[in-house]
Amino acid sequence: MSLSLRITALVISAASAVALGYLNYQNPALERQLQGEVILSASTTPLPLAVYCPGPLAELGGKDGTELGNLALIGKAKVWGAGAQFPEAVPVEIELGLPLNLSSTDQTTLALSVLQTQSVTRPRMTGLSSAYCSQPQTSGYFANGMASLGRESILHLANPGSSEVQITLSIFLPSETRSQIVTLAPGEDSQISLAALADAEPNFGLGFLTNGPGISAYLQNRTSSGLNATGVELVAPTAVASSLFIPGFRVFENQFEKPQLSVLNPGSEDATARVIFHGVGNSSDVLELQLPAGQLTNLELDLVAGEYFVELSADAEIAASIWSQLLAQRLDFAWLNPMSEFTDAILLAVPELETDLILANTNLDPINLSVLNSGQYQSVTVPALSNARVSVLPGEVLIQGEGAFSATLQLVSDRGFTVLAPAENLNLGSNLEIAVR
């Protein structure tokens, strides 16, 4: 095998099938030697960027719950887009999942940033849901499965690719970890009720792993109390890590139910975690958690009313999420997931809803950010290990800064409450360094 082919194989191994590029070998000469490794420079032409909007919510049992085995999509989801490459032909409302492709060397949110929202008012389901339309993924975790009386989880899967994909689902229960294999043809989507797989556990963890191709995966949660619907949400998967941050967590006086922290340890060994609730203008609190192997740990939080920037650190890779209710015109809930970090700039679409932009800082020093919304610039200083809340108007919002920062959107309407955690969607670009052993 030639040196050129060996380098191509290394790039494919490192980037995975999602981020494949066409390798242009720039310099066959050895550039430098480091600890027995040959470091070579290379550049790639990224493959077209593909993102996927999951589409409408699903309802199990029909409108009144009497149609056993009936699982169908309901209503329409609204699509909101931003970026220089956002296609004008994208429909405003969708009845199915929506794939979007972008052929551009610029694949940041400045080129394309898309999200969806859906409001529902039905006898057994009411609330506001949202999803950030992201790249297909080969693996991910959910720390927010629900399956007991009045609590329901439906998994939305889709294969936007051109080849068949096999997906291994792992259900993390207190007594065992169950597995199920799902196969999707190209362009196929599927909605799966998880009640039977989860043995009606009030809370459980979920993981998925494909045999190579990327998929779209979102978890829909619905709650009710007696005959009253009390909320619905569409949750994106997260990666596991030993350090996680969740911004913009608010505790209200006289909440209908206390917020809950869910932490998933998908590993084979027990772990410990430390959770710091950094008060934003109020007192802080600290928790120590023991995390059994292969289980979801769920904890009701008894905190002073106020806003918190939540920091989790563990001696193993974990997934985490916070369940939070909001009683406005209607009772609804949202799952707050760990956030992604951005550098330099991020562009987000802002729906025609009451919207708060949550700017977060995981650094040990304050950061200064510039926010452009509705033609007006605003300078925001975010303290160390904290977040700032900024009200934004519908349209687009551009956040710029030096170094790392994070941003999420919290949306409120007369139907409910939802939280969006955007991510940067891009494939491998230029200026790569490849270590040849």
In a domain, 139, yes or no: no
CA distance 189 to 305: 41
Instruction: Look at residue 8 and tell me if it is in a domain.
Output: yes
Q: Closest Cα partner for 435 from 36, 88, 20? A: 36
Return the beta strands (E) in 204-270 as ranges: 204-210, 216-225, 228-235, 241-251, 260-265
Task: List Cα–Cα distances, 114 to 52, 58, 373, in angstroms.
Answer: 9, 21, 17
CA 154 to CA 378: how far, in whole Å? 40
12 part of a folded domain: yes
Q: Looking at the domain assignment, is residue 171 inside a domain?
A: no
* Angstrom distance (rounded) from CA 280 to CA 366: 14
Strand partners, 101: 50
Contact 296, 263 (CB under 8 A): yes
Domain count, the chain: 1
Instruction: Classify residue 384: in a domain, yes or no.
Output: no
Structure tokens at 272: 């410990």
CA 274 to CA 314: how far, in whole Å? 6
> In degrees rounded to 5, what are phi and psi of residue 139?
-160, 160
Structure tokens, 209? 């792993």
Select from 125, 124, 147 the least CA-distant residue to 195.
147
Query: CA angle at residue 326 from 325 to 329, to 5 degrees?
Result: 140
Structural domain for 21, as ranges = 3-46+429-436
pLDDT in tens, the chain (437 residues): 443 333 333 333 444 443 434 334 344 444 444 455 676 666 666 677 889 999 999 998 876 666 767 899 999 999 999 988 888 778 899 999 999 987 766 778 888 899 999 999 998 899 999 999 999 999 999 999 999 888 999 999 999 999 999 999 999 999 999 999 999 999 999 999 999 999 989 999 999 999 999 999 999 999 998 888 999 999 999 999 999 999 999 998 877 889 999 999 999 999 999 999 999 998 999 999 999 999 999 999 999 999 999 999 999 999 999 999 987 778 899 999 999 999 889 999 999 999 999 999 999 999 999 999 999 999 999 999 999 999 999 999 999 998 899 999 999 998 899 999 998 876 655 445 566 66
Closest CA to 79 of 69, 68, 64, 92: 92
The 8-class DSSP code of residue 5 comes to H
Is the C-alpha dihedral spanning 187, 152, 63, 57 positive or negative?
negative
- Identify whether 37 is part of a domain: yes
Radius of gyration (Cα) for the chain, nearest Å?
A: 22
User: Phi and psi dihedrals of 409, rounded to 5?
Assistant: -120, 135
> What whole-number distance in Å separates Cα of residue 249 and Cα of residue 245?
11
172 within some domain: no
Is residue 7 included in any domain, yes or no?
yes
Sheet containing strand 139-145, strands side by side = 139-145, 204-210, 165-172, 177-184
